[in-house]
Amino acid sequence: MDKPEQNRKLTLRVALLQLASEGSAEKNAEKAVNACRSAKEQGADIALLPEMYSMGYDLYARPEEDWLAEAVSKDSPYVKALSDAARELGMAVGATLLEAYDPTPRNTLLLFDRHGREVLSYSKVHTCDFGPERRLTPGNAFPVCALDTAAGSVNVGAMICYDREFPESAWILMLHGAELILVPNACPMEQNRLAQLRGRAYENMTAIATCNYPDGEPKRAPDCNGHSTLFDGVAYFEGFPGSRDTCVLEADGGEGIFVGALDLSMLRTYRAKENQADTFRRPALYRKLAEEHEISPEFRRPGRRG
């Protein structure tokens, strides 16, 4: 007889597909599907691609109208190939794309469950308006879904690259119930950004899986360097003296498929006992965070607000 779910160890195997772009949506779809098959052979329950993999985040050193024209729709062959792969393999897939949208494209993650069904659609809220992404339509919400996996149901949300720079992104996902945050990425993951992810996981008691592009991508700007990561968010636990390392996996700089095991049972037990995240918040004192206000001009340049 099966143990009750609360007593059964639930381990979610997360595959970070740290892949270089092949230059077109068609070729990238083929490469991504093959990587998903390899991830499944390694026991993965969910696979995640780097940011805007449909066109390889190739926004720099060419006319904006050229890359804007490479946006693909949700019913495109690229998206269909990845949803079909999820159903065929019985594995969730986080597909990333430059999504065709009116009035301008969006930077989007679509999460397909192991039955090939779209269960989450997230568009980057904090677009990089200091660069080419100023042409994109930003997202306007941080949704969370219950993802059905072979390891059990897990509550999943998403941030995309620059969203990570804002504590509010992970914070609101935690408040919406996220246990795992997926983070497609396209920038150098140096020590401070890695520390940022570690901090977001720690303060919200939330697992965070980030997938970046590998080294050696001359079209990518700023240069990517791999170092995709999985943090489990569990800083203190019975049997560990003091603080434990929340980093489950950190990839090297090369192209590859990196699979880490997330112990959901440990995370849930930790969240039930510890005091980070929501336990002692005082929301009445934080209202200023949601208000428009002026700060020193040395601190910010004009940008989209609201």
In whole angstroms, give the CA distance from residue 228 to residue 194: 9
Q: Which residues of the chain have pLDDT under 70?
A: 1-8, 217-222, 293-306
What is the structure's pLDDT at 191?
96
Torsional sign, CA 293, 299, 304, 306: negative
Q: Model's pTM, two decimal places?
A: 0.93
Strands 180-184 and 152-158: parallel
In whole angstroms, give the CA distance from residue 9 to residue 249: 20
Mean pLDDT over the full length of the chain: 91
What is the structure's pLDDT at 5?
45
Strands 92-99 and 106-112: antiparallel
What is the structure's pLDDT at 216?
79
> Which DSSP letter does residue 181 get?
E
